[in-house]
Structure 1
Amino acid sequence: MSQHKVVLLLGSNLGDQKKNIELALQKISEGGNYISQISEFLITEPIEFVSSNIFCNIASEIFTSLSPIQLLDFIKDIEVGMGRIKDSSASGGYSDRIIDIDIIKYNDLIFRSERLEIPHQKHLYEREFSKVLLKDFI
């Protein structure tokens, strides 16, 4: 089985944000993925929606045998299992969330589908907090 190098961004702005992220990382690892590196936690204001809840975010590099779509399904299952109710792509807008996991890069793959865009353009080029978190990963 081939191992693919993937960069993820994780964020939470509900409950104990750091614990939510740590639990999500634990679930990623328990799913057979190897976490090789994580960034420092970064506290940020919500972007593209209004909320009084601040975000805690990290970047993580993992190695996985999952395909991009398998990985997407896997992380969406983690989000739902942890109590995420609304997915921004399904609801058409951003809202508070217990956990959000985004695939930023998958090897050097360029991939576009209705459900997934790799590399993740907004995080790589538009969001300043993402650039800070990703500086050691990209």
Structure 2
Amino acid sequence: MSYNDVILLLGSNINNPEKNIEIALEKIENQTGSILTKSKLILTKPVEFESYNNFCNIAIKLKTQFSPIKLLSELKAIEKNMGRTSDSADLGVYQDRVIDIDIILYNNIKFSSKRLIIPHQKNLYERDFARELINEVK
């Protein structure tokens, strides 16, 4: 079986964000693959929307057997299971969230579909905090 190296970025800004990240990491490891490395956990202000709730963010490097779409489906199921009721992509706007899990890099591939674009352009090139965390686990 072949394995894929994936970098994920997680964020949470409501209902005990640090605990949400901890729970999400456990679910990711139990349901999708092995976490190889983790960045430090940082607090950031919301990006592209107004909120009084700061985000807790972390990047991880994951080893998985899942394809990009299968991995996305599993991550969306984790988000939903943790209480995320709507997705920014569906709403067209950002809002406070229990958990957000983004696929940033998947091996060295470029992938594009209606549901998923890899690499994740905003987090790689437009958000300094994200780039810093991603560089820690590359």
- The verdict on a shared fold, with TM-score over 0.5 as the criterion, is yes
Equivalent position of 2:75 in the other structure: 75
Tell me the residue number matched to 1:16. 16
- 1:58-81 CA-partner distances (Å, limit 9, x unpaired): 000000000000000000000000
The whole-number CA distance in structure 2 between the counterparts of 1:45 and 1:28 is 25
**Number of matched pairs:** 138
Which stretches of structure 1, 4 residues or longer, exceed 3 Å deviation after superposition?
none
Cα distance between partner residues in 2 of 1:134 and 1:36: 13
Q: How far apart are residue 32 of structure 1 and its match?
A: 4.5
How many Å separate the matches in 2 of 1:51 and 1:136?
A: 27
Equivalent position SS for 1:40: coil
Q: Where does residue 48 of structure 1 map in the other structure?
A: 48
Q: Corresponding residue for 1:135? A: 135
**DSSP-derived class of the 1:34 partner:** strand
Instruction: Give yes or no for the alignment of 1:122 onto 2:122.
Output: yes
> Structure 1 pair 32/120, CA: closer, same or farther in 2 (3 Å)?
closer
In 2, distance between residues paired with 1:107 and 1:135?
A: 15
**Mapping 1:98-109, distance limit 5 Å:** 98-109=98-109
Taking only the aligned residue pairs, the percentage that are identical comes to 51
Match of 2:94 in 1: 94
Query: Secondary structure, in 3 states, of the residue corresponding to 1:76?
Result: helix
Q: With the length of structure 2 as denominator, give the TM-score of the two structures.
A: 0.98
- Unpaired runs of 5+ residues, structure 1, are none
Partner secondary structure for residue 62 of structure 2: strand
Q: 1:98 is paired with a residue of what secondary structure? A: coil
CA-based RMSD of the aligned residues comes to 0.8
Conserved 8 A contact 2:41-2:56: yes
